[in-house]
Structure 1
Amino acid sequence: MTYTPHGKHLIGAERVGSDQTFSSDPAHGTAHDFSVGTPELVDRACEAAEAAFDAYAATSRDERAAFLDAIAEELEARIDEITETAMSETGLPEPRIRSVELPRTANQLRLFAGHIRDGAYLDRRHDAALPDRQPLPRPDLRMIQRPIGPVAVFGASNFPLAFSTAGGDTAAALAAGCPVVVKGHGAHPGTGELAAEAIAAAARRTGMPDGVFSLIQGGNRQVGQRLVQHPLIKAVGFTGSLAGGRALFDLCAQRDEPIPFYGELGSVNPMFVFDSALSARGAEMGKAWAGSLCMGAGQFCTNPGIAVVMDGPAADAFRDATREALAEMGPQTMLTEGIAEAYKGGAAKMGEESGVTAIVTTEPASRAATPFLYETDADTWLANERLGEEVFGPLGLIVRCKDAAQMETLARKLKGQLTVTLHMDDADAEAARKLLPIVERKAGRILVNGFPTGVEVADAMVHGGPYPASTNFGATSVGTLSIRRFLRPVCYQNLPDSILPADLAG
C-alpha cells in the first residue's frame, strides 16, 4: 500500500507545518517534501512535553504498559506502508524491514511493557523506622526509581525503526514515565512520520496526555543544539557519528543545568582469533567474517571491522578465505549518498596508510557499497591511531601479531568498543583467560565464537561501552536495563502511606 506523507511535524497531538520544506532523498521511488524544523518548534515540543509530564509520570505501570503495547499494535497495523516507505528511503531490502526491524521494534516495546508490569526495575527499598534505637532513632526510609522528565531522542540513520522514532530510546523513556521529543533523521523522514502516527494513535487509544510524544523533522544544526540545550529536557539519547555526538555531548555538559547525554558514537568491534582456532578453522572463519562484514552493507554499529590474528600460515589461510568470499559479494545500496561518500573516503584513506597492504579493493559506484580488505602488522597498527578508527561500511582490516604478548599489548591500546569477540578452541582457553580481563575494560559485550552483528533485545544485553563507543560506560541503549537512563532514585522519609507514590504505599 503506497503511503503519501503529509510532511508535517507532530507537536503533542497536533500536526504542525513550517514555512520551509526539504525533500527526501530516496534510494529509489518518489521524493517527498517535509516541513523543516526550527528552534521555535523545538520550544513548542519541549513545552508540550513538560506540560504532559506530571500527568504521564503519575500513570500506573499497567497504564503505561498498555500504551507501549498499543504502539506495537499500531506499528504492526501499518506494516505494509512502513515497509514500502522504508525500503524506498533507505534501500534496505524488504525482509530487513518487514521481518526483522519492524518485529524487533514492536517486540522491544512489548518487552518494556512486561518489564514495567513486573515492577522489579523500581528497585524498591525500605528501611523500617527504629524509634527505640540508641543513641538516635532511625526514621522510616523508602526508596524508589522515579522518571526524570522530558527526554530528547535523536533518530539513527542505519535503523529506520529499531533505533529511531519508535525505537529503543523512545520505548525506554516512555516506559520510565518520561515524555519524549524525537529529532527525526533526514535519511528516512517518511518512515519516521509513519512511526510517529502510530505513537499518536496509541496515545489517543489509551488516553495519554497530548504532549507525551513529539516528532520534529529536518532543520539545521541549530535545531539539534536547541533540543539538547532546552532547559526542560532532562536527558538525551543519541545514535550517530563520533563528531556529531561529541558536539552534542559537549553542549549538554555546558548547560546551566548539565544533563546526561547517552550517545552511541562508533566502534570497530575487534575480533581476537587465537592460535588453535585459527589453525583448525581459519578458512571457515574467514568466510563467515566476510559475510558479517557485508551484512546490511556493513552499516551496523557492531560490524566487526578488525581481525587480530597470530602471524603464520594459518593467518594466510584466513586472509585468503576472506578475500575469496568478499570477491563474491555484489554491490549494496547504502543508506544515504553522504554515508556512501564517507565510506569511499574512509576506504581510500586506509589504502594510503603506510604499512597497510590492500587485499581486496573495489570501485563502488554512486550510492553503492562494495567490500574492501586490508592487512597490516601489529607494530604498524600500534603506531597509527587512525587504523583503529571506524569506517562505516563493509571494510575489514587484518592485524598480524608476532606473539601472544603483542596481542595483549594491542588489546590494551584499544579504545572503548561496543563489542569484542574471542575466537577460540579448548586449547586456547589459557590465552583467552589472560586476555579477558583486558577486554572487559574495553567493551560492553564480549562474545566467543560468533559475530557481533545482531543485538539481542533482552534483559541481560549491554549495548554500550567505554568512550568513544558510548558517552556513558555505565549505560546500555538495548535491553531492559536501558530504562535506568531515564530514572533517578528518590528517598521518602517518614511519609505517610496516604501521600506515598502508589508503587511504594502499603
Structure 2
Amino acid sequence: MTLDLTGKHLIAGEWVGADQTFKSQPLSAEPRTFSAGTPDLVDRAAEAAEDAFWTYAYSSRETRAAFLEAIAEEIEKRGDAITEIGTEESGLPAGRLQGERGRTTGQLKLFAKHIREGAYLDRRTDPAMPDRPAGPRPELKMIQRPIGPVAVFGASNFPLAFSTAGGDTAAALAAGCPVVVKGHEAHPGTGEIVAQAIHAAIEACGIHPGVFSLVQGGSRAVGERLVTHPLIKAVGFTGSLGAGRALYDLCAQRPEPIPFFGELGSVNPVFAMPEALKARGEAIGTAWVGSLTMGAGQFCTNPGLVFVKDGPEADNFVSAAVDAAKGGDEQVMLTDGIAAAYRSGAEKVSQTEGVKALVGEANASRHASPYILETTGKVFEANEALAEEVFGPLGIVVRVEDDTEMERIARKLHGQLTVTLQMDDGDAPAVGKLVPILERKAGRLLANGFPTGVEVADAMVHGGPYPASTNFGATSVGTLAIRRFLRPVCYQNMPDSVLNPDLQ
C-alpha cells in the first residue's frame, strides 16, 4: 500500500482533526503536520472504550484471537508504507524497521495462539463438600477477567514494537481490554499507518470501534487526563524515569488508584568475571561495544556498565573495547531532543571526578558517537549518578579490587531489566555468590551473551525492581504480559447458566 496520511486522530472509528497542530521532526524530509491531542479527545476515546468493553470483554477467545491475527495481517499489508514513513521520522535503517515490524506482528500472532489455548485464565475449581466434618464448603470457581479500558503510551525508541500496536496494546487486547493509545510525537506518521491497520481489522472482524483509539501528541495535559480519566483502569508506559514517575504518581493519587505498568530505565550491568577475561577478554570487550552501540545505544537493554576485577586481564578487555569504539561510525539518534540529552548526559558523567574518558566526542545535531569511560569501585560507590542511565552509546568500566567489593557494589545496585554474567567454569564459585544478589536486582539474568535483543516468548521477563519498572511482578514482553490486564474473580455456588463460557 502507498503512504496515505490524514494527520488526524482515530477516535472510535472516526478520523478526527483538532485546532492545534504539531510538526514531525524527520531526519531529511520536509516536516509533516499533525493534529495535536486535547483532553476532550481523551474523554471521547475513554468513553468509547468503556462502551466497547461491554461487548469486547465478553467476546470469545476465538473472536479476540482472530482480531489480533487480522491486525497483524493488516500491518503486513502496509509494510512498505510503514518502512517509508518510519525511516523518514526515526532515522532508523529500513532493515531495522522491517525486523521490528516482524516482531510486532509475530507478537500479535503469539498472543492469539496463547489465548486460544486458555491456560492464561488460570481456571481453578474447588468442588462443594456438603458433608465436611468441619462444616460444609461451597463450590468455588476462579478465573481471570479483563479489568477495563487501558491507556498505552507509545515509546520513542520502538516506533512499532512498543508503540501503537506494540506489546502493551497487544496484551490488553488479548486480555479483553479496549485500548486508548497516546501516540509519541517522534513518529506520528508511523503511528497513524499502524492505527489504519487496526481500524481495518476492526471493520473486517466486526469489532466495536471503541476498542481502539489513537490520540496524537498534545500538551502534558493530554497525558495527565489519560491516566486520571475515571474510565481508564490501567496504564502501560515505556519512557524516561522523570515522565514515568510523574504519571505513576498521578495514578496513585486518583480517587480510585490504578496500576501503572511503567518501564523507566536501566543500565543493565555486566559482570565480566576473571576466568572469562583471562580466556577471552579481548573478544568480550569487542562484543560489549557492539552491544553498547547497537542502534546508537537506544535500547532499554543497553549494557551501560561493566564490572571487572582490576589487573592485566581487565587491561586487555578495556584495550579491545576502546579499539572497537574508535572504529565505529557516528550514528543517527531518534530525535534532536534525544541527541541533545545524550550529549548533556555524556558530558556530565565524563566530567565527574575520578572518571576517565577513554573514548568520547560530542557530535552536533542528531548524531552520536560512543563514549567509553573508566573508574574505580570506590568512585562508583561514592557517586550514585554513575549508576543512572544515559540514553545512548555510553559505557562505564568499573574496576573493582576484589570479590568482596564486587559483591558489595552488586548489593547497592538499583533495579534493572537485565544483569549479564560473562563467566567460565572457573568463575562458578564467585558467580554462585553473586546470583542470589543479582536475582533480586533484575528481571532477567543471562550468561555469556549480551542483553540487547529481547525474545518474545512464554518465559521472557522484561521488567524488574524499581526503577527498571514500577511493578516488579510484571513483564511487558512475552505472554505473561497479558496477565497485567486481568484480575481474578471467584464465583461461589454460581449456576453454569450464568457463568462465563470459559468456566462452564
TM-score (norm 2): 0.99
Kindly indicate whether residue 226 of structure 2 is the aligned counterpart of residue 227 of structure 1. yes
> Are 2:460 and 1:480 equivalent residues in the alignment?
no
Mapping of residues 277-356 of structure 1, within 5 Å: 277-356=276-355
1: CA distance, partners of 2:362 / 2:427: 39
Kindly indicate whether the alpha-carbon contact (under 8 Å) linking 1:421 and 1:446 is maintained by their aligned counterparts in 2: yes
Equivalent residue number for residue 53 of structure 1: 53
Partner of 2:77: 77
**What code does the residue aligned with 2:366 have?**
R
How far residue 20 of structure 1 moved from its aligned partner, in angstroms, is 1.3
Provide the residue aligned with 1:31 in structure 2.
Answer: 31
Q: Alpha-carbon deviation of 1:282?
A: 0.7
- Whether the 8 Å contact between 1:5 and 1:32 is mirrored in structure 2 is no
For the residue of structure 2 that corresponds to 1:478, the secondary structure is coil
Contact 1:271 1:421 in 2 (8 A): yes
Query: Could you say what secondary structure the match of 2:42 adopts?
Result: helix
Q: Which amino acid aligns with 1:274?
A: M
CA contact 1:2–1:84 (8 Å) conserved in 2: no
Return the letter of the residue paired with 2:51: A
Aligned residues: 504
1:174 and 2:154 aligned: no
Q: Aligned partners of 2:273, 2:324: CA distance in 1, in Å? A: 21
User: How many percent identity over aligned positions?
Assistant: 68
Q: 1:165 maps to which residue?
A: 164
* 2:409 paired residue number: 410
Match of 1:493 in 2: 492
1:123-173: CA deviation from partner (whole Å, max 9, x where unpaired): 000001111222321111000000000000000000000000000000000
Counterpart amino acid of residue 94 in structure 1: A
Specify the alignment match of 1:424 in structure 2.
Answer: 423
1:397 has 2:400 as partner: no
Which residue number in structure 1 is paired with residue 451 of structure 2? 452
> Distance between the aligned counterparts of 1:3 and 1:61, measured in 2?
33
Please give the alpha-carbon distance, in whole angstroms, between the structure 2 residues aligned to 1:6 and 1:248.
29
Q: Which residue of 2 is the match for residue 466 of structure 1?
A: 465
Partner of 2:93: 93
- Equivalent residue number for residue 375 of structure 1: 374
Letter in 2 for 1:49: A
SS in 1 for 2:501: coil
Shift of 1:279: 1.0
Q: Which amino acid aligns with 2:443?
A: G
Instruction: For residue 2 of structure 1, report the CA deviation from its aligned partner.
Output: 5.1
The 5 Å alignment of 1:242-253 reads: 242-253=241-252
Question: Separation in 1 of the partners of 2:146 and 2:48?
Answer: 17
Kept after mapping to 2: 8 A contact 1:424/1:448:
yes
Q: CA deviation at 1:339?
A: 0.2
On the 8 A contact 1:273/1:309 being kept in 2, the answer is yes
Following TM superposition, where does structure 1 have runs of at least 4 consecutive aligned residues deviating by more than 6 angstroms?
Answer: none
Could you tell me how far 1:280 is from its partner in structure 2? 1.0
Corresponding residue of 1:255 = 254
- CA offset digits 1:193-221 (Å, max 9, x no partner): 01111011101111111100000001010
- Distance in 2 between residues matched to 1:233 and 1:76, nearest whole Å: 30
Structure-2 separation of matches of 1:143 and 1:261: 25
Report the Cα distance in structure 2 between the residues aligned to 1:103 and 1:27, rounded to whole angstroms: 24
SS of equivalent residue, structure 1 residue 324: helix
Counterpart residue type for residue 289 of structure 1: W
Counterpart CA distance in 2 for 1:132 and 1:2 is 70
Secondary structure of the equivalent of 1:63?
helix
Per the alignment, residue 199 of structure 2 pairs with 200
1:437 aligns with 2:436: yes
Post-superposition offset of 1:471? 0.3
Separation (CA, whole Å) in 2 of partners of 1:94 and 1:196: 20
TM-score by length of 1: 0.99
Tell me the SS of whatever aligns to 1:307.
strand
Return 135-144 or 401-410, whichever deviates more: 135-144
**Structure 1 partner of 2:42:** 42
Aligned partners of 1:4, 1:140: CA distance in 2, in Å? 56
Letter in 2 for 1:35: S
Counterpart residue identity of residue 50, structure 2? E
Distance in 1 between residues matched to 2:218 and 2:94, nearest whole Å = 29
**CA deviations over 1:87-127 (Å, ceiling 9, x no partner):** 000000010011x1000000000000000000000000000
2:238 maps to 239
CA distance in 1, matches of 2:51, 2:4: 31
CA contact (8 A) 1:234 1:259 kept: yes
Task: Render the CA deviation track for 1:427-463: whole Å, top value 9, x for unaligned.
Answer: 0011111100000000000000000000000000000
> What is the CA–CA distance in structure 2 between the aligned matches of 1:266 and 1:42, rounded to whole Å?
27
Amino acid at match of 1:277: A
SS at match of 2:250: helix
2:501 equivalent in structure 1: 502
Alignment partners' CA distance in 1, 2:28 and 2:2: 14
Q: Is the 8 A contact 1:287 1:321 kept in 2?
A: yes
Partner of 1:363: 362
- Distance in 2 (CA, whole Å) between partners of 1:294 and 1:491 is 49
Which ranges in structure 1 are unaligned for 5 or more consecutive residues?
none
Q: Tell me how far apart the structure 1 counterparts of residues 210 and 43 of structure 2 sit (CA, whole Å).
A: 12
In structure 2, distance between residues paired with 1:232 and 1:313: 60
Amino acid at match of 1:197: Q
Three-state SS of the structure 2 residue aligned to 1:181 is: strand
1:160-192 deviation line (CA, Å, top 9, x unaligned): 000000000000000000000000000000000
- C-alpha separation between the residues in 2 aligned to 1:422 and 1:484? 29
Give 1:289 shift: 0.7
Post-superposition CA distance 1:355-384 (Å, at most 9, x none): 000100113121001111100000000011
Provide the residue aligned with 2:9 in structure 1.
9
AA of the residue aligned to 1:80: D
